[in-house]
Structure 1
Amino acid sequence: MDPWHRSTIRRSCLEGLVRKGLLRARTDAQEWCILGDEDHPDPPPGYIVSFAAFHERGFATPLHRFFCGLLHYYGVELQHLNPNRIQHIAAFMALCEGYLGVEPHFELWKYFFAVSLFQRREKRSKVTYSVPMGCASIRLRQSRASEYMPISLSTSNKGWHGEWFYLKNDSAAPLLAFTGRYFPATLRRWEYRPVKDEKRRLVDSSVFEAIQTLKDCGLHGVGVIGGYHVCRLMPLMARALLMYKMTPDAPSAGTVVSDDPVYAGLALSVGEIEECLREVTYCPPAMSS
């Protein structure tokens, strides 16, 4: 991954995200902005650096307290994630709220996921070095993969780090301010698993049996991701209701990025949802007989 360079994003791209219900409309409060021709991010006070691809994968403000707490726990800034890591968190939160009927569960998260440090390796010199974005690599623990829902994310997100812009930090649940920090080594807390008592509580709650039952009924990551796009929900956004309570007759206020009819009428079409799923997930080509 290359170092920071001048953003390639245009206002029309962000306005397209607004029309799709993936980004808040810009008002006098200046919820987002694109500044001059700087080659390295230097957000104004109160702003952080975000990426178009993050908003296409379930990230939106105001922020859900689980997502905010997760990044604070790991000590990472938003740019330290990449699109697949955002997607993993969004799908996990949707699984908890929409299918298990519970708040996103931190101990369950630690049971299934760990964070490792991504570093770039120079081909010629074989030297590895830290990168300023996408370095916190959230991964499903291999020893737990069979207990989790099947989920295969995109194998290529080429160019995502070039489409950055400034997003107003949520004052109610702020993320860590942008510092441009590099990580020379993995932080110890990134690998922490649930302690013995926490794991026992998970077992006693029957959550693993519930996930297995859902898998037996066909639960798959693609369906979970497609489901919240159909409903115009952003899993990483704070919501007035848990996902499973968002029935067709439930009020939309406080559950979607915008319930303005102007934007509601321009939500993702079936074709756009299919295109989104092709971009964010990986489906291996069918084997010929």
Structure 2
Amino acid sequence: MAAEDLEWERSKISNQDMNLLKKLGFTKKENTLRFPSEESYPSPPMEYRVSFVDHLIRGLSPPIHEFLRGLLFVYGLQLHQLTPNSILHVSIFITLCECFLGVHPNWALWKRIFCIRRNGAHDVAYNIGGVVICVCPDIEYFDVKFPDSVQGWRKRWLYIHEESSDSVEYNIAPFDGKTKILRCRSWDAEATEEEKLATETLMTRIRELQNTRGKELSGIQITAYFLRIRVQPLQARKNPLWMYAGDEDVERISKDLPVKDLEKLIRRMSKLSKKDNIPTSCRVAPYSGANPLPENHPSLTSLPPLPEGGEVEDRTVVDDDNQGTSRPDSEVAGSHRSAASSEKDAESEATASTHSPPPASPKNKRKRSEVKDFGTSKAEEADPSDGKAAFNPYTDALVSSDDEEEEQPIDAAARTRELAEANKRANALATKLEQSEKARRTHQEYEVDGPEGDELLDALTLLEIHGDEAREGLADAEAGLSKLFPYFFPKKEEPNTFVALAKAFNVPEDLGLKLRQEGLKIGVEGTIALVANSQQNVDWTKVGDIGEMETKKWQSLIRAAKPPSKPILSFLGVKPTPAPSSSKPEVK
């Protein structure tokens, strides 16, 4: 199946997605985002590019950072051709470099850690998300705990405003959804020996960050950090992250997220469940305005080569392995990690080799047999939304009786296998439904794993998500009403069920007014008891007659009663209010 066979469809951005983008600060600046209307194929306005909701929540924000622009150019890619996990790889790498290595994102270091591969199976080549960034097999890198499936991300596309540079050649390429992904020499670009020598101190520091006992740094910690400080790593910024100035930093796109929202966002970007703890801080203090770089800290920029009057040599297209290859689950770990880099002395790094990838040669070029083609069999990277790629057991397994005589002889064995596959899917769904219901009854968490694009499983997943929220809300409501019940109904026994408890509060009468009246009644009874105890002669028939009393007279009496009321309130253990009430009591 060709790449162009995977067609675009109308964007399906929900109200929940819109609220999330607003909460994250993307709609604060006018014209930053534009949302498609009814078009089924992207047609971005001038100076806009096509991106995805799942790109934005993983650190992307316009205008795009020069390091990402350089990667797109040198690899010959468009923004929509990178998967969400690939975007997160770049975000973590930049955060690692700026916050924990104290250097600008380094192209030479990147080449030592990452490579890119096609995304697809043996019979499918994708254009939307058709390329994945993954960690080289021989590199030990941070475990990011990427999810096995990012459900429906290709359907949540939108337009982002890419501010134009004075020189057009430095802007990312305009959107072209029909351009095929062509494999370039740069896909296998390796660091030269000189670059390896210059970045060895950075690699050593990365190993220390991973393995220092008690101070281990993880990909999740790095992700949580840039989400918590509200600075997008993949946005062009005036200052690097090691100059982060806290709440007043000019690069922040929103205020701090509530802890619950932050944890939910991290779980959405990873495969952590509600049972897993989300790190609230890094075990290693990141560089910032409050923790500045040491004196004489090496600083050098090594960016991917941007166009300078023409293409770089490694943009040359090589033999196009038109189809990706599936990989076993054990190889997915290569793209389940994330990263960073540090630099050496400016003089030793200021060479042409740091500004352009090395020419492809038999010595430097990584062979296909040495580094496996990281296509994927995982649902996140391989979207089976294309109807031509998916087997439909309900239509493909049927033969019209009117056409039987005209059809070619049926392969009975193949048809039997298809029917068996349909039965297997139906049984698997029934099992998942049963497990979900059992988990609900026992108040346990249950998550549905399955191929992206499966409408039944998607519906079940949404049902479980909203069901969990509803159950949590009902539990909170029951706990709150249970605490309030004895105050509103002191002489009644609390109902055994939540429904009966809720009905007790859902009555025509004003329970708040009733409670205030009961409180006033108690206060009046206490006052009468104290006055009676003083053995004074009081005409109690007149005490309760306030119907004809004017409001001004009532207020003056309250002010006069304030001084002698203090010992009474002290006796009752009540702290006097700052000011007396000016309204008459509510008495029935």
TM-score range, shorter-chain basis? 0.7 to 0.9
Aligned AA (2:236)? A
1:252 aligned onto 2:249: yes
Matches within 5 A, 1:187-226: 187-203=184-200, 206-215=201-210, 216=212, 217-226=215-224
Secondary structure at the residue paired with 1:119? coil
* Separation of aligned partners in 2, 1:31 and 1:248: 24
Q: Which runs of 5+ in 2 are unaligned?
A: 277-588
* Separation of aligned partners in 1, 2:35 and 2:228: 29
Given that 1:3 and 1:131 are in contact with CA atoms closer than 8 Å, whether structure 2 keeps it comes out as no
1:229 aligned onto 2:224: no
| Percent of aligned pairs sharing the same letter | 27
1:25 Cα deviation from its structure 2 partner = 2.5
Max radius of gyration: which structure? Answer: 2
Matches within 5 A, 1:162-181: 162-172=155-165, 174-181=171-178
Matches within 5 A, 1:26-175: 26-27=29-30, 30-121=31-122, 128-144=123-139, 146=140, 148-172=141-165, 174-175=171-172
Secondary structure at the residue paired with 1:129? coil
1:25 aligned onto 2:25: no
Q: 2-11 or 98-107, which moves further after superposition?
A: 2-11
The structure carrying a bigger helix percent of its residues is 2
Q: Assess, with a 3 A threshold, how the Cα gap between structure 1 residues 83 and 226 changes in structure 2: closer, same or farther.
A: same
Residue in 1 aligned with 2:268? 279
Residue in 2 aligned with 1:260? none
Q: Assess, with a 3 A threshold, how the Cα gap between structure 1 residues 185 and 242 changes in structure 2: closer, same or farther.
A: closer
Secondary structure at the residue paired with 2:41? coil
Q: Assess, with a 3 A threshold, how the Cα gap between structure 1 residues 120 and 182 changes in structure 2: closer, same or farther.
A: farther
Aligned AA (1:133)? I
Q: Which runs of 5+ in 1 are unaligned?
A: 122-127, 258-262
* Counterpart pick for 2:17 among 10, 13, 20: 13
Q: Deviations over 1:137-170 (max 9, x none)?
A: 11011111x2x22322111102001011111222
Given that 2:13 and 2:155 are in contact with CA atoms closer than 8 Å, whether structure 1 keeps it comes out as yes
Given that 2:32 and 2:62 are in contact with CA atoms closer than 8 Å, whether structure 1 keeps it comes out as no
Aligned AA (2:244)? M
* Separation of aligned partners in 2, 1:75 and 1:238: 20
* Separation of aligned partners in 1, 2:91 and 2:54: 13
Residue in 1 aligned with 2:331? none
* Separation of aligned partners in 1, 2:12 and 2:203: 44
Secondary structure at the residue paired with 2:263? helix
Q: Assess, with a 3 A threshold, how the Cα gap between structure 1 residues 31 and 283 changes in structure 2: closer, same or farther.
A: closer
1:241 aligned onto 2:239: yes
Secondary structure at the residue paired with 1:7? coil
Q: Assess, with a 3 A threshold, how the Cα gap between structure 1 residues 61 and 95 changes in structure 2: closer, same or farther.
A: same
Q: Assess, with a 3 A threshold, how the Cα gap between structure 1 residues 80 and 184 changes in structure 2: closer, same or farther.
A: closer
* Separation of aligned partners in 1, 2:272 and 2:29: 36
* Separation of aligned partners in 2, 1:236 and 1:31: 15
Secondary structure at the residue paired with 1:139? strand
* Separation of aligned partners in 1, 2:182 and 2:41: 23
Residue in 2 aligned with 1:3? 7
* Separation of aligned partners in 1, 2:181 and 2:70: 23
Q: Assess, with a 3 A threshold, how the Cα gap between structure 1 residues 184 and 67 changes in structure 2: closer, same or farther.
A: closer
* Counterpart pick for 1:268 among 253, 257, 276: 257
Q: 155-164 or 32-41, which moves further after superposition?
A: 32-41
Q: Assess, with a 3 A threshold, how the Cα gap between structure 1 residues 24 and 96 changes in structure 2: closer, same or farther.
A: farther
Aligned AA (2:222)? V
* Separation of aligned partners in 2, 1:154 and 1:193: 28
Aligned AA (1:199)? K
Secondary structure at the residue paired with 1:239? coil
1:184 Cα deviation from its structure 2 partner = 5.4
Aligned AA (1:280)? M
1:195 Cα deviation from its structure 2 partner = 1.5
Q: Assess, with a 3 A threshold, how the Cα gap between structure 1 residues 101 and 52 changes in structure 2: closer, same or farther.
A: same
Aligned AA (1:107)? A
* Separation of aligned partners in 1, 2:142 and 2:37: 43
Q: Assess, with a 3 A threshold, how the Cα gap between structure 1 residues 72 and 11 changes in structure 2: closer, same or farther.
A: farther
Q: 9-18 or 173-182, which moves further after superposition?
A: 9-18
Given that 1:14 and 1:52 are in contact with CA atoms closer than 8 Å, whether structure 2 keeps it comes out as no
Given that 1:60 and 1:234 are in contact with CA atoms closer than 8 Å, whether structure 2 keeps it comes out as yes
Given that 2:61 and 2:235 are in contact with CA atoms closer than 8 Å, whether structure 1 keeps it comes out as yes
Segments of 4+ moved more than 6 angstroms: none
Aligned AA (2:172)? L
* Separation of aligned partners in 1, 2:66 and 2:174: 16
Q: Deviations over 1:88-145 (max 9, x none)?
A: 0000110000111110011111110001111345xxxxxx23222101111011111x
The structure carrying a bigger strand percent of its residues is 1
* Separation of aligned partners in 2, 1:282 and 1:10: 22
* Separation of aligned partners in 2, 1:95 and 1:184: 29
Give the length in aligned residue pairs.
264
Aligned AA (2:194)? D
* Separation of aligned partners in 2, 1:44 and 1:11: 23
